[in-house]
Amino acid sequence: MTRTLLAIVVILTLEIQHYNSDANFGANVHIVETALGTTEISGAENIYFDVIEPEELSYTFKIRPAKDFGSSFNSSYLGSRVRLVPTNPPWCCTHPTNANSVRGHVALIERGECSFVHKATIAESIGARAVIISDNDPDSDDFYVEMIRDHSKRDISIPVAFLVGKNGRVIKSALKSLRMDYALINIPVNLTFVPINKINQPPWMRI
């Protein structure tokens, strides 16, 4: 049996989900072990948002919707020039001090300290319309965590998506240096008929 065929067989037979509860800091990763190593499994199509302001961040960013909780961006949410607001504290495991600024907008939250579902629950409770969770590895630019439900039975009715750490770091750093509390974004944006090389992606993400 060839190495490639063996890998396919193992992928089909050894799917393993790794996830932790709230007490285990929400490291909810859905991966598959194969003969060639580990690889992520995508349960949903990627979606995109555009930053309109500040101009320094005016690019198109890719995010991955949560696998099995939250609603769909396309069917339940369409935002034009809405605010993307980093929460304070960034993990949003407790009621954020800037809850009033987040209310009615998209919360930008950092991974870590509690589960993805717990973060989304807090954000929804303060009136956020959607949640984007960035990786807590500030240099990660290609690994998209498959966010899955924790052991609780909490239901989330707003959209939730994952953003790679490098994009999250750059967005928050730019806002801080410009003394801005939020970015203006359009979400989601339809890129169905746009070739990959024509997408206005961030230059630090280009290969």
* pTM (two decimals): 0.77
Do 34 and 52 have their domain in common? Answer: no
Give yes or no: residues 162 and 67 share one domain: yes
Q: What is the dihedral of CA 126, 127, 132, 133, to 10 degrees?
A: 10
Question: Which residues form the domain of 173?
Answer: 47-205
The answer to whether 165 and 141 are in contact (CB under 8 A) is yes
User: Residues for the chain: how many in total?
Assistant: 207
Q: Pick 4 or 103 by higher pLDDT.
A: 103
Average pLDDT score, the chain: 80
pLDDT at residue 75, as a whole number = 59
The verdict on 69 and 148 lying in the same domain is: yes
122 & 21 share domain: no
**Shared domain check, 62 and 8:** no
170 & 125 share domain: yes
| Owner of token pair 């579902």 | 117
Do 130 and 35 share a structural domain? no
How many domains does the structure of the chain reveal? 2
Q: What is the pLDDT of residue 87?
A: 98
Q: What is the pLDDT of residue 88?
A: 97
